[in-house]
Structure 1
Amino acid sequence: MTHRTPDAPLDDAMQRRLREELIDSYDEELEMEIDDRHLPGLTDLDDPARGERVRYFRELFRLQGELVKLQDWVIRNRHRLVVIFEGRDAAGKGGAIKRITQRLNPRVCRVAALPAPNDRERTQWYFQRYVAHLPAAGEIVLFDRSWYNRAGVERVMGFCSDDEYEEFFRSAPEFEKMLTRSGIQIIKYWFSISDEEQEARFLSRIHDPLKQWKLSPMDLESRRRWESYTRAKEVMLERTHIEEAPWWVVQADDKKRARLNCIHHLLSQVPYHDVDHAPVVLPERARSEDYARNPVPPQMVVPEVY
């Protein structure tokens, strides 16, 4: 593969690939707006790509409806669920997490995305800062990267010693077995993308001002060390794939398929079912004869530009 600098001209195939990436980012915003009631008939449009996107939206909304049922079951059964998302930079972990949490109660389903450890945390037991984010009864926690940082970025970038690396592999399976014995269900996903796909996604971020913030110096260095990350990933999967908490690999070169496949699989891993709810009745508002609403001072009102 040839190396490209940000100002290097892009060939036609790459320009087309970046346009597709831009369209996908538009779809990400539309997902917040589109409702099933708007979908019937749209699949008759001549644009095959648009029809494909509509089918994606329809299936995404269906799966998100199932996630709401899963959430209700987790609450009712006081279940504790941990879902770990790992993968290379730009593999699509954040996009999948966003689609999972999109319609859920943030008090029930929350995301743990820990920054690099501070000076104090570096002196603690390695797993200590992650323990504070584990779920209580009736909660779901999605780890956007996790304790597996030690097996990946820390190993590749030299942020841990060989002894610390080996101790991680001795401790991680035992740590996860201890969590599962305590009643916490652990599901681990590795989002797998090809060399070419990561390059395209990085270039998309470089050429899109709205996405450039996603590229850190560490991300760019990880691109250079692709092969080192591959070796670290292979060792990690081999040494931490245990019966109590197995790894599942999501083929993620196609973002939309990866999201749908991941959510579908996640739902299959939990024995949830519909939970009966008492009918919701909107009560009548209490009214008082002496109540009068005070007007808001004009200087406090946000200008209605739109």
Structure 2
Amino acid sequence: MTRILVAWEDLYFQAMAALVKKVVRATASRPGDPPTVLSFSPKGNGNFERYVHDTWPNVRGKGLSTDPGPLDHLVCVVDGDRLHDLLPAVAKRPSDPAAVAPWLAQAEVQFTTWLRERCPPSGPPATTVHGFVLRWSRESLVLAGYDQPSFAARLGVDVAQRTVADMLSEFCKPTHPNQVPPARFTDTFVKPAGCLQALRKAAGRPPIDKNAPDIDDVIRDLSKEGLAIVRSRVPDLDRFAALVTQLASPTPPSPAPPTPPTSTAPPRARPPRIVATPAAKKKPPRRS
């Protein structure tokens, strides 16, 4: 079974990792036998370089102390809203929703290249290291459930409340979330953390810390009650599951040359061989 280690930039990754594993199981190509996905945090995107250079060569063969065993791949997950801070060569996230998809594709290639360039020549193959860019942060998962019961219960923000609905239209520009197709949700609302704080203010609630337990509680609740909705609004969940499935799929062997068909019919009887015999020579007549 393929074992994949996921390094989350976010220190508070546990609820998010559990949700992702649930999506991986739901989309596994072989039901009942999904790849093993382990998670940890290097505590900030600034530690990815040290991890791929120093730590990955050591843990790949033996695994984690909490789950020993050889590892096959390392996937580093970085928040898209802070990728430019780590890699200044990567353009900052675009504000135009239509520009997000090409930006994301290019940013992910640049991030993966940057990681592999830091792999030591004597270590595991650089192709065992992969970069993944999350749009935009953990708060994106929370905001994707803005109209779910757990969002109102955990955060005290009810979208049916007039002031909250007005704030959704005003702050979460360019339009109210219910007017945005699910597949464009994350590309449209590129500042989920700010939106959450604005909604709390509109509901008469104090600001909430990004690492507050309620944030993780909402994610856990959504993984049970609103997973289909969150997946439709945060395409990165299915993208990540597709990457894991791809890494777990063995390379198909080269096709063997075709063998000539064999017949099971009894062999034909050979016709008798006819051998021609030379004609007898006529004797010349005797002279009298």
TM (norm. structure 2) is 0.30
Choose between structure 1 and 2 for higher RCO, CA contacts under 8 A separated by at least 6 residues. Answer: 1
